[in-house]
Structure 1
Amino acid sequence: MRILFIEDDQKTSEYVAKGLTEAGHSCDVMSDGRDGMFQAQRETYDVLIIDRMLPGLDGLSIVRSLRAARVGTPTLFLTSIGGVDDRVEGLEAGGDDYLVKPFAFSELLARVNALSRRPPVQETKTVLKVADLELDLIKREARRGGQVIELQPREFTLLEVLMRGEGRVMTKTMLLERVWDFHFDPKTSVVETHVSRLRAKIDRPFEAQLLHTVRNIGYSLHAPR
């Protein structure tokens, strides 16, 4: 089983990762909330274990963002915030289970194994579709109306991010982080330039427009309404 553990306390992360590895699982550890969220979106995991108090982005926000992006990976909150209202808040945010620190590793392992046995909320998609636009993540190929569209690597990644966020507005900052891994604004028109090139390939040769500019906010890719 492949597990992502988002935890900023080094002793806890090392202890849990060691135990999960000894139990036969693969465990990736991220210490920053924002980086952990992007990792959970980029890679496929069987279970996520997430602390609530994290630098960059808190655990509740991570899970809410993942669920909004239709990432349904089973998620366990592992945190020192243990009040009844806190547990309810975590579950209502999209968490599947909640374990309070300090904890017994045997219980953590049992809960992780139980989560992994649940039917998946959704199958991992290898082909993204919006209207007649398709993006094959395995073949690294884009098609619209059955016609192959030649994309540069960065254009492909940009389109993937936009399609995964179908119908949602993606700000310039979000695109800079997810496509270029910039955690600051480089004060360039790199996003605008690539969106313009992408639009010329996936929209202009076709009748219906899919890629829309949301003035002063960002961009949204969705089927004609």
Structure 2
Amino acid sequence: MRILIVEDEIHLAEALTQILKKNNYSVDTVHDGESGVDNALSNIYDLILLDIMLPKMDGISVLQNIRKNEITTPVILLTAKGEISDKVTGLDSGADDYLAKPFASEELLARIRAISRRKGEIVTDNTLKYGDVQLNTANLKLSQGSKEVKLTLKESELLEFLILRKNAVASKELIIEKLWGFDSEVEHNHVEVYISFLRKKLVFLNSNVTINTVRGVGYVLEVKD
């Protein structure tokens, strides 16, 4: 799961980044509203944590801008403001949730899990299911029956992305943008290497899940008959 943090308080942004990375989320951070819009419009994020009081463009304007551009990425507003009117404005502008500062990291993580459940993607124990395998995104373990194997963070992110694509083909370019960021210099062979790693681990588990190559297009996750 890739998260964008838009927060101008540097120390808070760094603390949030460390908390999220510790819980196996991929994180990008920007510190002003205009950069927030630019990053959000790439549409590579699964969730945006958005402060309201930002330089260059306030958080409500950022939210309205990305919704106007049909970006449906879930947004949790972060703000020191606690007035009901601010909450209403944020939610009416397209926010999915609202968290007033200061807040506990446990509450933030719970809100993120709740939004994932509403999207129908991750169940309460951070497990994704596809075919006969289960991917636990918290401990990075892939299991099939009583057998399990440990994944690296990038392997887990890649498999999670392919599962959530719901049988749609993912190009190498899209995978790179999603896993490494839209301004990354990662090349196609990086994707090929991680696809190879995942295929070997699925074979080790005797899984009926395969990663098929659609020549000239990309990769798709499928279940063997």
Q: Deviations over 1:50-91 (max 9, x none)?
A: 33469xxx721x22xx5xxxxxx479xxxxxxxxxxxxxxxx
Identity score, percent:
21
Partner of 2:161: 161
Query: What TM-score results when the alignment is normalised by the length of structure 2?
Result: 0.53
Q: Which amino acid aligns with 1:38?
A: I
Partner of 2:107: none
Q: CA separation in 2, counterparts of 1:207 and 1:124?
A: 21
Asked whether 1:38 is paired with 2:16, we answer: no
8 Å contact from structure 2 (residues 5, 49) kept in 1: no
Change (3 A) 1:38 1:170: same
Q: CA separation in 1, counterparts of 2:169 and 2:49?
A: 24
Partner of 2:199: 199
Change (3 A) 1:42 1:139: farther
Determine helix, strand or coil for the equivalent of 1:211.
strand
Structure 1: state its 5+ residue gaps. 7-12, 15-27, 67-72, 76-104
Asked whether 1:51 is paired with 2:64, we answer: yes
How far residue 37 of structure 1 moved from its aligned partner, in angstroms, is: 3.5
Q: Deviations over 1:137-190 (max 9, x none)?
A: 222211123310222232122112212223111110111112223535644511
Change (3 A) 1:166 1:147: farther
Determine helix, strand or coil for the equivalent of 1:189.
helix
8 Å contact from structure 1 (residues 33, 59) kept in 2: no
Q: Deviations over 1:106-160 (max 9, x none)?
A: 866324457659x974466211110111111222211123310222232122112
Q: Which amino acid aligns with 1:109?
A: K
Q: How does 1:60-71 map to 2 (within 5 A)?
A: 60=70, 62-63=71-72, 66=73
Q: How does 1:88-127 map to 2 (within 5 A)?
A: 109-113=87-91, 116=97, 121-122=118-119, 125=122, 126-127=126-127
Query: What TM-score results when the alignment is normalised by the length of structure 1?
Result: 0.53
8 Å contact from structure 1 (residues 74, 116) kept in 2: yes
Partner of 2:220: 220
Q: Which has the larger radius of gyration?
A: 1
Q: Which amino acid aligns with 1:167?
A: N
Partner of 2:190: 190
Q: CA separation in 2, counterparts of 1:174 and 1:132?
A: 26
Asked whether 1:149 is paired with 2:155, we answer: no
Partner of 1:81: none
